Amino acid sequence: MSTESSTLKTLIIGSGPAGYTAAIYAARADLRPVLYTGIEPGGQLTTTTEVDNFPGYPEGVDGPAMMVDLQKQAERFGTEVMIGMATAVELSKEVGGTHKVTIDNNKILETKTIIIATGASAKYLGLPSEQRLRGGGVSACAVCDGFFYKEQEVAIVGGGDTAAEEATYLANICKKVTMLVRKDHMRASKAMQHRVNAKDNIDLRYNCEIDEVLGDQLVEGLRIVNNQTGIKEEISITGLFIAIGHKPNTEIFKDQLEMDNDGYLITVGKSTKTNYPGVFASGDVQDKEYRQAVTAAGTGCMAALDAERYLASIESL
Ligand code: NDP
């Protein structure tokens, strides 16, 4: 294990909209940020096709292309973008202290501030047919991709608030939405359930699970199974939305940073401050409610401003 000789001002972990926006602001503030991309450079947007809801792109933008642009913008101001994964952290509780971050289990970086933008990953069912058709009709984001299924028949799996909210969203766009809930009840709040029940074009199926996603290059249907009776049935759809929850990428911060019961980082008030001085969290890793590229970018900007102010305050100590 080697330790880099100089201490960084700002280390950014993660390369989605939050990480790159933090980098743009930090670089322009002369913090000479170093950004480590993580295992999925560009983050969740690289798994989507067209992004239609990011302001400033009247014709929409290709998700992976937008992330390349964000990277270039961050680099233009001097951000050093590095491929690598933060695998461990040793945070200092002292104001003005130095934090240590291990990269790829073989290099230790020392830094005065850390901006965490490691995001969250959508959970998938894990069926081989589902994995094969990701990007070919299987999506984990109705708000991102629902529009492409306008007037078509789609299905959504999950029974929580996200599934209920997304089913309602899809019902406004699509001809029919089949909602598959594995239990005999939904976990979603009553208010959300009422919204689902109020939609005539949502076909709610309890005790139903997906046996296989049908289709070669594109989704053509589902084979579903009633887990009470074992009866299988095929339905025709062109889009399948998985809404069974997200997992924040916070494993390496356990036992140090404060998290809620689902593992999302807790920030102080309206800031991006965590319970460690000089450690800031932005994007989906601290937001289970909005989870949009534009909101992630907003909190990335906030984290860079918080880091800049923190560095100014410790310099004057
Ligand atoms: P949840 O963990 O609350 O719900 C996940 C749902 O997916 C459950 O119904 C669960 O079923 C189901 N599920 C999990 N694994 C599988 C599987 N393998 N096959 C089939 N179904 C499966 O996640 P959400 O993303 O819905 O919500 C996360 C948090 O965000 C919650 O606290 C929620 O309240 C909040 N939220 C709030 C919103 C709002 O207030 N507007 C909007 C969206 C989210 P089971 O019940 O059987 O475990």
For 235-251, what is each residue's pLDDT tens digit?
A: 999 999 999 998 999 99
Q: Give pLDDT, residue 47.
A: 64
Q: Give pLDDT, residue 164.
A: 95
Catalytic residue set: 141, 144-145
Instruction: Tell whether ligand 1 has an atom less than 6 A from the beta carbon of residue 184.
Output: no
In the chain, where the domains are located? 2-121+246-315, 124-242
At the fourth CATH level, which superfamily is domain 2-121+246-315? FAD/NAD(P)-binding domain (3.50.50.60)
- Please name the residue that has the structure tokens 């798994």: 47
d(CA 54, CA 63): 10
Strands of 189-238, DSSP E = 202-205, 208-214, 221-226, 232-236
Q: Give pLDDT, residue 52.
A: 82
Q: Which atom in ligand 1 lies closest to the alpha carbon of residue 164?
A: 26
Ligand 1 centroid to residue 70 C-alpha, Å: 31
Query: Cβ(99)–Cβ(47) under 8 Å?
Result: no
Backbone angles phi, psi at 193, to 5 degrees: -65, -40
Q: Which CATH number fits domain 124-242: 3.90.1300.10, 3.50.50.60, 3.40.50.300, 2.40.50.140?
A: 3.50.50.60
Q: Give pLDDT, residue 49.
A: 67
pLDDT in tens, 38-77: 988 888 787 666 788 899 999 999 888 999 999 999 999 9
Query: Cβ(182)–Cβ(225) under 8 Å?
Result: no
Ligand 1 centroid to residue 161 C-alpha, Å: 6
Instruction: Tell whether ligand 1 has an atom less than 6 A from the beta carbon of residue 64.
Output: no
pLDDT tens series, the chain, 317 aa = 888 779 999 999 999 999 999 999 999 999 999 999 998 888 878 766 678 889 999 999 988 899 999 999 999 999 999 999 999 999 999 999 999 999 999 999 999 999 999 999 889 999 999 999 998 999 998 988 999 999 999 999 999 998 999 999 999 999 999 999 999 999 999 999 999 999 999 999 999 999 999 999 999 999 999 999 999 999 999 999 999 998 999 999 999 999 999 999 999 999 999 999 999 999 999 999 898 999 999 999 999 999 999 999 999 87
Domain 2-121+246-315 and domain 124-242, same fold? Reply is: yes
Ligand 1 centroid to residue 102 C-alpha, Å: 33
Instruction: Tell whether ligand 1 has an atom less than 6 A from the beta carbon of residue 289.
Output: yes
In DSSP terms, 8 is beta-bridged to 111
Q: Which of 139, 161, 153, 111 is nearest to 45 (CA)?
A: 139
Instruction: Tell whether ligand 1 has an atom less than 6 A from the beta carbon of residue 199.
Output: no
Instruction: Tell whether ligand 1 has an atom less than 6 A from the beta carbon of residue 233.
Output: no
Non-local (6+) Cβ contacts of 26 within 8 A are: 10, 12, 33, 79, 115, 304, 307, 308
Ligand 1 centroid to residue 58 C-alpha, Å: 32
Q: Give pLDDT, residue 42.
A: 87
Q: Give pLDDT, residue 125.
A: 97
d(CA 287, CA 17): 13
pTM (two decimals)? 0.79
